Structures are given as structure tokens and as C-alpha cells.
Amino acid sequence: MSGTMRKSCTTSTAGRQSPASAIGTMGERSLHAGLKRWYADPGDRFEVTVDGFQVDIVRGDMLIEIQTRGFRAIRRKLEALAGTHKVRLVHPIPQEKWIVRLAGDGFTVLSRRRSPRQGCVEDVFGELVSIPTLAANPNFSLEVLLTREEEVRRPGDSSQWRRARWRRHGWDVFDRRLIEVVQRVKLHRPADFRRFLPASLPQPFTTADLAEAGGHPRFLARKIAYCLREMGAIRVAGKKGNAVLYLAT
């Protein structure tokens, strides 16, 4: 289900190489383009239209879609394609993130620091809640990439003040760049998702039990339980007071 590996990139563009002309990166953000280069194998085809949808990579009979965020935005696409094709969704999570601040000219680096937040594989459930039943489709698989990346920020437009910018003290996220892929975790079927149920978890269990055993915040434990229930990896086994009890299937 998973493998540990490290592969460095030169900023966001190196990795496993295929001819640059074969990979269409026009209009792509750096992270998406860098991951597509890293993921590429000889013989892959890029930006191919399949059943009316543009697919990032076609590898034999496998359709590979790289989505850096927002599974909801591609739900219809994934559901349609997985009806008749093998589909693999690839999603990066920054295990280590460096914040780079640029001056107003967009080029001069003012500072570079490491973010204190460290992402983990379980963070994928923040997006998976948009498509939990798709994991039960035998044509669908999910691959989570733990990465090191740069988040590039520059001063925001004060005339368009937004809450997200307020949290970043007036800075806009301009780009994200791949530095390195640290680990790959492959999830092919609902049973694979049971890896997120700690061995110390009581049976049956509540989301509070899952949060404590996994060391997760309660909101994330609820998302994990919801997704596993919807894909059929766990089932409802009653209630304990107001809390729902779950059992692995």
C-alpha cells in the first residue's frame, strides 16, 4: 500500500524526465507541472482528451489525474471516467513547507522560512469527504504523495482584502513549487483505507476514540470515519449515548 522514498527536484521542474515538449504546462501552476514531470514515465501521453475530459496523464489503460487541492471541483470528471476506465487520483500533501516572500516586483526574495506545520497522509481526508464513495469503485485508486514544497507569497492588493490574506498579514499565495517527493502511499480499495484505524483502537469505537488513538484533532477523526463509512470500510454498530459506534467491516 505504501512505499518510502526520496526523489529531489531542481526547484519545481526536475525529477523523472520525459521530453519537455510532451508535457503541456501552459497555464499550470508550478506545483502541478512539477508533479506531472516527476510522475512521468516513458511512453506516457499528456493532456489527452478522454470522453470529453482533459486528462493529465494517460499510461496504457490508466488515466492519471494530478489534483493539488479541491477534489469537489473534479468530482463529476472522476465519477464519469471511473465508470469505464481505470483512474488514479494523485494528491500531494506538504510534509514540509517553506514560505518564500517576494517583493512587489515578483522576483526579489525577501525571506525564506520553514512553516511549523507538518502535513500527514491523514490530511487527504479533508478533500476525500467530497468523493468518499468513489473509493469503492474498483476502477478508482488514490495515491498520496508526501512532499517538501515552497509556498511563494507576494504583497496582496489592498483594494481586494480577503480573510485568507488577513490571516497571512496582507500576503497572497502566488505559487507553490515542488522540492522533493518524500513518500508515496497507494490506496487501491476500501480495505486499504483501514490502515488509518490504529491497532489500539477499541472495537467498536467512536470518533473520540479514533481521535485519541490516532493523535488527530476531533474534526479530522470525524472526516476519516465519514469517508470510511461511505466507502464501506467500516459500518455503524449502534450508539453510545449520543456518539455513533463503528466497526471495521
Number of CB atoms found within 10 A of residue 51's CB: 12
Q: What is the pLDDT of residues 171-222, one digit of tens each?
A: 888 899 999 999 999 999 999 999 999 999 999 999 999 999 999 999 999 9
Residue 79 confidence (pLDDT) above 70: yes
What is the spatial distance between Cα 198 and Cα 211, in angstroms, rounded to a whole number? 10
pLDDT at 29: 86
- State the pLDDT confidence band at 19, using cuts at 50, 70 and 90: very low
Task: Please tell me the least confidently modeled range out of 11-25, 80-94, 199-213.
Answer: 11-25
Cross-strand pairs, 248: 234
- State the pLDDT confidence band at 14, using cuts at 50, 70 and 90: very low
Q: Average pLDDT for residues 102-111, to the nearest whole number?
A: 89
Peptide bond into 204 cis (omega under 30): yes
- Domains of the chain are 2-188 (no CATH), 196-249 (1.10.10.10)
Q: What is the pLDDT of residues 130-175, one digit of tens each?
A: 999 999 999 999 999 999 999 999 887 655 445 544 455 678 888 9
Q: Average pLDDT for residues 31-51, to the nearest whole number?
A: 97
Kindly report the pTM of this predicted structure: 0.84
Query: Residue 81's Cα: distance from chain center in Å?
Result: 19
